[in-house]
Amino acid sequence: MRFLTTPYSLGEVRVSNRLVFPPITTGYGTVEGRVTPELKGYYARIARGGVGAIITEATVVSSTGKLTPYSLGIWEDGFVDGLAFLAEAIKAQGVAAFIQIAHAGPRAGSKFNGEQPISVSEVPLNKFDPPRKMTVGEIRRTVDQFVQAAKRAWRAGFDGVELHGAHFYLLSSFLSPFTNNREDDYGGDTTGRTRILREIIGGIRQEIGEGFPVICRIHGEELPDDGIHLPEAREIARQLEGAGAAAVHLSSCYLTMPGAERFMTVPATSIPGEEDPPGAFVSLAKGVKEVVSLPVIAVGKITDGDLAERILAEGAADLVAIGRPLVADPDFPRKIMAGENPVACLYCRNCINSLGAGKPMTCRVNRDLPGRY
């Protein structure tokens, strides 16, 4: 595991190894969006397992931008102390702590957010909860919400932030030609569609400085024919690099999800299942890494240490994000680096299905999670 165990730097932040725990929504917070002792304990346990960096789950920049009723919040200063509680629990284990900041946009639920979802255009993701198109003034306010959220994350002691520009959340809806049909400065070609992210990155760098890294999570592939595909993802990554992003994190939304066509206009998921091959999105990371010099994070059913080591050895990515295997066995990093076999994730999607049912995340393998099973 020579490559996995080699330290790395994300901007000025030193990471002890190349394994990253990516954002996974838990439902362990409160309905007010606050950190709980259970949530802190969950992340502290992941950190003790030996991962190099943790990117905590999507934390919303607006009270009306929640994906679930239990989405964590960072939209006002009152959240800073609780988030500091979380950051310290991670960093106390020698693990770099990043936080994903997000707005659910067209995926937000009007039932618990109290208003109609907003999006770059009126193209719906949820057929039964269509969004309204944002005004330019609202877009500018959203840019400021993200910048102020990053400042709160910095004050809370996080080492950096990740902008959630994937999975058809709000920033993702700007990037995708499928959802973005605007004809102003925030639509049209790739330069227009990346504008909101580039403005957010610029605002963060101006307010905090260049030493606070900003990771961007983006799609390398989308299901719709007129969505993002790899050539477009490569250009998006180049533009984000030019804006000052510290890394790109390559996800996707093209894996079919049977039954989703009943309520989703894009019946696809970013969550590989038992039927999907290991390393499902690695080729996307590799394709983007070929055209940028900033670090690239690969993700997507990276099932074991040998696969993770091979991804790094072959130069397909600079860091490897492993999510659900660490939910199943938080000691996954320590075990693979010691040549031991971790408890295997079943890729059964129980974790995401429990959240879809309005419950905290559970796991069929790990019965010690706060949500139980």
Judge contact between 311 and 282, C-beta under 8 A: yes
| DSSP H helix total and E strand total for the chain | 13, 15
Residue with tokens 């993700």: 299
Judge contact between 80 and 39, C-beta under 8 A: no
User: Could you tell me the CA-to-CA distances from 357 to 125, 231, 346, 352, 362 in Å, in that order?
Assistant: 19, 36, 19, 9, 11
Judge contact between 265 and 253, C-beta under 8 A: no
Alpha-carbon distance 287 to 231, whole Å?
8
Helical spans, DSSP H, in the chain: 37-48, 80-91, 110-113, 136-155, 170-175, 190-193, 195-208, 230-243, 282-289, 305-313, 324-328, 332-337, 350-356
Alpha-carbon distance 137 to 317, whole Å?
38
Nearest to 348 by CA among 359, 361, 363, 334: 363
Per-residue tokens: 327: 């939910």
Active site positions, annotated = 169
Alpha-carbon distance 104 to 107, whole Å?
5
Alpha-carbon distance 22 to 52, whole Å?
11
SS3 content of the chain, % helix, strand, coil (to 5): 35, 15, 50
**Which three-class secondary structure state does DSSP give residue 100?**
strand
Alpha-carbon distance 202 to 165, whole Å?
16
Alpha-carbon distance 331 to 222, whole Å?
32
